[in-house]
Chain A
Amino acid sequence: MIETALTDLWYGFGVALQPHNIMWCFIGVLVGNMVGVLPGMGPLATISILLPLTFGIKPVGAILMLAGVMYGAQYGGAICSILLNLPCHPPHAVTCLDGFPMTKQGRGGVALGLTVMASFVGASWGITEMIFLSPILVRVALQFGPAEICSLMLLGLLAGSTLARGSPLKGVAMTVLGLMLGIVGTDLETGAERFTFGMTHLDDGIELVALALGLFGIAEFMNSINQVVSINAKYTNVRLRDMRPSKSDVKQAIAPMFRGTLVGSLCALIPGTGPTIASFVAYATEKKISKHPEKFGTGLIEGVISPEASTHSSVQGDFIPTMSLGIPGDAVMALLLGALMIQGIVPGPQLIKEHPDIFWGLVASFWIGNILLVLLNVPLIGIWVKLLTIPYKYLYPSALFFVCIGVYAANNDMFQVGEVIVIGILGYVLLRLGFHPAPILLGFVLGPRFEENFRRAMLISRGDILVFVERPISAVFVGLCVLLIGLQIYVRIRGAKAPVEIPTALEGAE
């Protein structure tokens, strides 16, 4: 088994090392790193903007680039958290707790240097996990019929919406809303038009790019206009030689690095728990096993390294269910899956067999991308730090233009730019009412496939709804769904405290 995995990986490197693929990967991680640093721009918005621009390139290059944006942003986000105390990206919010005090002590460079190291270790472990686990998952998943796929999707949707931030009820409501938005347009099986309200422009459904940019672009800009405080650039003077950690620092960092990696990879295996939860769990674990927990928050290296390693290992691990089962764990993965679908590639367990170049090329490009990121982050730290000082008032109008042209370029259709505006307003209203719009994307991407498989399952079982609990594998998934809901209700009734204390100041940062 190890042998075949290594041969496949070798083949993957062959794909990823083709010059144009290296170039796309490089552009991806570079842009990702950049937006990760910029306060107020997230990987979601960036991937959606870049998405239409990838229609012209081959699927492999497109997915390498978009994935590069995703994990590149994780590297950049740490810089923002450590040097500015700004939790621009949720997975790095905990890093602020100990990262910024370190900066105040003049050890910000060391924190950054060790973070890059920890990130690389975490990511490497996540990739290794993907190499060995995905083929096993696929072997199991190929036995699935429509009923199993359906209940697995249900589990994915439930986990994605209840385990994410905010109230689980609202999360589920958002997922259902996403399913509803996915229904808009022509029905695949009967050709009936649904919820188009007579607008022929909506026949092909709501454009994925328009939805993502409305929710994570326009709504987010409306939320943060005139709210982004001017940046305190006092501590941003970091040079390359400040980043070199001393021997004792490295020694102190190794154990938390591996603990964080482990936490992250475990979190990646549970659907719905993305990098954000992984980083909080990692921090809490460090605090719990530490001999002097009271010192956390004053600039302890463990408090920086462990969450960062866990974030990266979880980000890479999140690709496992997405690529091998076609079930995305969070909104970013849903978007990447959407990108594959736009390229005409059907996600699911057959993907690795039918498009080995995409899967193994992606895996190999993770290594290449992560090495590129280490190279980018260490000598170029000065440039990234400069980027931090770009004021928001220049950032959001430029980003709005990218939103407009991105949506227009998706189909050369001005109507969809209008769609973005409407969705943006809806997204902002939802944000104000305390909803997190990310699960909408999850429902939207999975919706059509869910309906298709549900119908097929019902047709095969002659309309017997019990088929979902009669088939053993499906029954397990349904059981897990029930367990998940039961657990949420139990936690609510018991009024149990949140498992991780999340500082209120850090909440709500998107």
Chain B
Amino acid sequence: MRSPRKHSTVVEFLQNFVRKRDFYAGGLIIFFGLVMALKGPTYNLGTLMHMAPGFLPTALGVILIGLGIAIAGTAIGVPEGEDEDIMPAHPEWWGWACILAGPLSFILFGSYFGFIPGTFACVFVSALGDRTATLKSSALLATFVTIFGVGLFSYLLQIPMPLLTWRGL
């Protein structure tokens, strides 16, 4: 009679636990710790007196695993009903994508076509991330920043990056 109920509370407990933010936080830290603790010994541990390159990473990895477990453990203590969502209330997928695409286009356009296209693309793409931005406003901002950037970085600070180039595709 009692065992099914007990079972369900355990399941409920686990479900609640998994919904907590600290559960994921601890999980991430444990993951980092595992990477270090498993990879560390391959660099040779050495002895305490003559430490080899693998010693500290392994030790830190073990510490990190312990911390991760402790952080996940604190998730139990957090009362229900608190803001435990790991996603923000309004996910900004478009905005995030634009922010990440900005530097990415700087790398692509910058290395293939030079400083001017790289800068323009970076500002233009990332500006589109704002909800009120239009193609025109983004292009305007990008033009403005590009002119300013060329003046400051190319002429004043002389950063060694060609303004315009063609590396082919």
A10 within 8 A of B: no
Is the Cβ of B102 less than 8 Å from the Cβ of A433? Answer: no
Within 8 A of B (CB), among A175-225: 176-177, 179-180, 183, 187, 189-190, 192, 194-195, 218, 221-222, 225
Set of chain B residues within 8 Å of A424, measured between Cβ atoms: 99-100, 103
Within the complex, which residue of A226, A408, A459 is in contact with B131, where a contact is CB–CB below 8 Å? A226
Nearest residue, chain B, Cβ from A460? B49
Give the residues in chain B near A425, CB-CB below 8 Å: 100
B68 to chain A, nearest CB (A): 7
Q: Is the interface of B mostly helix, strand, loop or mixed?
A: helix
Residues of A in contact, count (CB < 8 Å): 61
**Max chain A CB contacts within 10 Å: which of B39, B53, B68?**
B53
**Interface contact B132-A183, CB-CB below 8 Å:** no
Q: CB of B135 within 8 A of chain A?
A: no
Give the docked Cα–Cα distance between A508 and B73 (Å): 23
Q: Would A463 and B49 count as touching, CB distance under 8 A? A: yes
A454 to B130, CA, bound (A): 48
Selected from B21, B48, B71, the residue in CB contact (under 8 A) with A458 is B48
B121 shortest CB reach to chain A, Å: 10
Name B127's contact: one of A393, A429, A464 (CB within 8 Å): A393
Q: Report the interface size for chain B: residues with CB under 8 A from the other chain.
A: 68
User: CA A122 – CA B67 in complex, angstroms?
Assistant: 38
Contact check, A421 vs B21: say whether CB atoms are below 8 A apart: no
The proximity string for B residues 75-90 relative to A, scoring 1 for CB distances below 8 Å and 0 otherwise, is 0000000000011101
Check A412–B24 contact: CB distance below 8 A.
no
**B25: contacting residue among A176, A179, A435, CB under 8 A:** A435
Chain B, residues 135-150, CB within 8 Å of chain A (1/0): the string is: 0001001100100010
B67 to chain A: closest CB distance in Å?
4
Residue of A nearest to B149 (CB): A401
B31-83: which residues lie under 8 A (CB-CB) from chain A? 32, 36, 39, 43-44, 47-54, 56-57, 60-61, 63-64, 67-68, 70-71, 74
B55 → chain A closest CB, angstroms = 8
Q: Would you give the shortest CB distance from B4 to chain A, in whole angstroms?
A: 35
Beta-carbon nearest neighbor of A188 in chain B: B53
Residues from chain B with a CB closer than 8 A to the CB of A5 are: none
In the bound complex, what is the Cα–Cα distance between A194 and B41 (angstroms)?
Answer: 11
Chain A interface, >50% SS class: helix
Contacts of A458 on B, CB cut-off 8 Å?
A: 48-49, 51
Q: Is the CB of A408 within 8 A of B110?
A: yes
25 contacts between A and B (CB under 8 A): A167-B71, A169-B74, A170-B25, A173-B71, A176-B63, A176-B67, A180-B57, A180-B60, A183-B56, A189-B53, A192-B52, A194-B57, A195-B39, A218-B103, A398-B123, A400-B123, A401-B106, A401-B145, A409-B157, A420-B103, A421-B104, A424-B103, A425-B100, A433-B25, A433-B28
Task: Known pairs A401-B119, A429-B28; list 5 more (Cβ under 8 Å).
Answer: A169-B71, A187-B53, A396-B126, A401-B106, A432-B86
Q: CB within 8 Å of A: which residues of B? A: 21-22, 24-25, 28-29, 32, 36, 39, 43-44, 47-54, 56-57, 60-61, 63-64, 67-68, 70-71, 74, 86-88, 90, 92, 95-96, 99-100, 102-104, 106-107, 110-111, 118-119, 122-124, 126-127, 129-133, 138, 141-142, 145, 149, 153, 157, 159-161
- Write the residues of chain A forming the contact surface with B, with a CB cutoff of 8 angstroms: 53, 56, 167, 169-170, 172-173, 176-177, 179-180, 183, 187, 189-190, 192, 194-195, 218, 221-222, 225-227, 392-394, 396-398, 400-401, 403-405, 408-409, 412, 414, 417-418, 420-421, 424-425, 428-430, 432-435, 451, 454-455, 458-459, 462-465
